[in-house]
Amino acid sequence: MTKDRQPVEDEILQAHRRSFDRLVSVAQLRLERRQFDDAAALARVAAKFAWMHHPGCFTSPELEAVTRALGTVINGETPSADGPFLGCLPPRRILHVFTEAREIGGHTRLATRWMTLDSNRVHSVVTTRQRGDVPAELRAAAEASGGSVTAVHDDLGPLATASRLAALAENYDVVLLNVHPSDVAPSIAFSSRRPRPRVLFVNHADHVFWLGTSVADLVICLRRSGHLIARTRRGIEESRLVDLPLPLVLLQRTTSIADAKQALGIAPDHVVLLSVASKYKFESRRPPSFLDLVLPVIEQQKSTTLLAVGPTDSGLWNEANKLTAGRVRPLGVLRDPAPYRDAADIYLDSTPCGSITSLLESAALATPCLAYVGGRDPESPIVSDPPFVVDAILRAQHPTEYRRLLLQLISEPEFRAEVGAGLASQAREAHSADRWLPRLEEVYEQLGTVGRVEGPAAVTAAFMAAGVDREVVSLATGRDGPLAVAETLVSYRGELRSLKGQVLLARALLRGRALLLRSPLPVQRRVSSPIPPRWWPVSDRFLVR
């Protein structure tokens, strides 16, 4: 990191923290004045803000205390003689809780495979803020196990949602949280002293702030950096952290690479590069971008095609498409990228933020995988580090090394085959059903060895300027700049039903001034690329000068 960039990132962190602290304080104020609906809504707004605008912390004991107090409001504090838990172990009935189950997204696919493989138990699904239909595969997996799918509508606010969720959960042995980082309903529903099922929290958003440390009896970590941050930055005890690999057994190659290329209209002699991730995972305030790394190689290798699932055909992606005569294809969001996965000769992990599920799905098909780590710490949360197979992934520390490895993969089929075979062997061994199911039974067993979590651990703000915080804030997950103030207010205003709550929200954001920074990072010349030099990065967008 250059010396001039670091102070600016620290300034962004401090500004985000000021706004976040203001939002937490107004939530506390609403709670003290017994305006519980506004307190819950403001808690959700604060968590959403911290999720989208990293404030230099990954948890907030103060915000967790608000949700715990709200849990007392809806559940009461009368303990039961039956003890702190409902249900039995090993569990027979499991409730999978989603904020929103989507057609795309690694945690939805994880839950679907979980239900399918863990077939001796009844699995049900409940959503707290579902928009649209629950994905058909998720519904089918739940119903095949004898379970059901329930949508708890948020029309009456998070308190009413939490109350209904708590009532639904009484019929289950274990609650599995697959929720958005800002979802306050589970934290409210399961935080009182009344008996409840044991709670497993899936740490699928391990690189950002999330709510729930005060109710998670066990936290399931899907990679080593997520485990490390949960222990050191969220204050979760080691005894409450458990590692679980992703189950990949359902993935099988459905066609040959040659046939898959033909079906997509790609010449058989073209080497197909594939990357699959949410659009934001390709965006960063720091160069080099994903296109900076890849475009020079594609320009040089005329028989190479890049398929990018997630990015849309606009902005720089549209320019790249034109410059390469259509050999860079931004495909947008696809429900099922399997046809493109089958056609890929090489998988390129998204950067700056990796996509572990997508990487592993290609790895299981013996597709060699290349990732750019850019000199980041080995425990960086924005770099893909899937357990058990990370050493089989080609990882480049510098753009020059990245392009050299990519050229070697393109030009040497034997090298591709060797790397892909080694990666597939490790991926299938680590993430197969034969390994995953016994590990899952160990997780259920570990639930019986830990008591009920009593609340969030104390954490310090001293880490705000740590390298991991600068890396997370460099992601373009939340926009900054004067124009974003109005957008943010409009976006969050719908969370609050009272006019007074909306005024408090506006004051908190404006006084914190987190969204008033112009050009958060210094303008940097793009790394060598065929894109014309008039394109320069500003914030999370690229503007023409």
Using the 8-state DSSP alphabet, how is residue 280 labeled? Answer: G
Neighbours of 121 (CB within 10 A): 18
Domain residue ranges of the chain, discontinuous segments joined by +: 5-57+464-541, 78-247+436-447, 257-431
Backbone CA torsion sign across 419, 332, 205, 376 = positive
Contact at 8 Å (CB) between 533 and 525?
Answer: yes
Using the 8-state DSSP alphabet, how is residue 298 labeled? Answer: H
Using the 8-state DSSP alphabet, how is residue 424 labeled? Answer: H
Interatomic CA distance for residues 506 and 511, integer angstroms: 8
Tokens of 265: 């209209």
Classified as helix, coil or strand, 472 is: helix
Contact at 8 Å (CB) between 172 and 87?
Answer: yes
Interatomic CA distance for residues 138 and 214, integer angstroms: 28
Contact at 8 Å (CB) between 354 and 384?
Answer: yes
CA proximity to 176, closest of 186, 191, 161, 162: 186
Task: Quickly name the fold that domain 257-431 has.
Answer: Rossmann fold (3.40.50)
Answer whether 0.85 is exceeded by the pTM.
no
DSSP characters over 105-142: -HHHHHHHHHHHHSTTSEEEEEESS--SPPPHHHHHHH
Neighbours of 85 (CB within 10 A): 19
Neighbouring C-alpha atoms within 13 Å toward the C-beta of 232: 15
The two domains 78-247+436-447 and 257-431 share their CATH topology (first three levels equal): yes
Interatomic CA distance for residues 380 and 377, integer angstroms: 5
- Is the bond preceding 90 in cis, omega lying within 30 degrees of 0? yes
Position 172 scores a pLDDT of: 97
Interatomic CA distance for residues 97 and 201, integer angstroms: 10
| Residues in the chain with pLDDT values less than 50 | 1-2, 79-82, 481-484, 517-545
Contact at 8 Å (CB) between 66 and 31?
Answer: yes
Q: Which residue has the tokens 């729930």?
A: 212
Tokens of 429: 């061994």
CA separation, residue 485 to residues 201, 386, 477 (Å): 33, 37, 15
Tokens of 180: 């958005």
Position 529 scores a pLDDT of: 36
Interatomic CA distance for residues 360 and 59, integer angstroms: 28
Position 81 scores a pLDDT of: 41
Burial per residue of 1-25, b for 16 or more beta-carbon CB atoms within 10 angstroms, e otherwise = eeeebeebbbebbebbbbbbbbbbe
Contact at 8 Å (CB) between 443 and 200?
Answer: yes
Give pLDDT tens digits for 94-135: 999 999 988 766 788 889 999 999 999 999 999 999 888 899
Position 176 scores a pLDDT of: 97
Position 499 scores a pLDDT of: 67
Position 103 scores a pLDDT of: 75
The residues with which 372 forms a beta bridge, in sequence order, are 396
Residue 329 backbone phi and psi in degrees, to 5 = -115, 100
Mark residue 135 as left, alpha or beta (left: phi above 0; alpha: psi -120 to 50; beta: remaining): beta
Give pLDDT tens digits for 276-285: 998 888 987 7
Position 264 scores a pLDDT of: 93
218-221/241-243 β-pairing: parallel
Tokens of 297: 């190689």
- Does the 78-247+436-447 domain belong in CATH 3.40.50.11380? yes
List own/partner pairs for 424-428 with CB under 8 A and 24 or more apart: 424/363, 424/364, 424/365, 424/366, 424/367, 426/388, 426/389, 426/392, 427/248, 427/360, 427/363, 427/364, 427/388, 427/389, 427/392, 428/248, 428/364
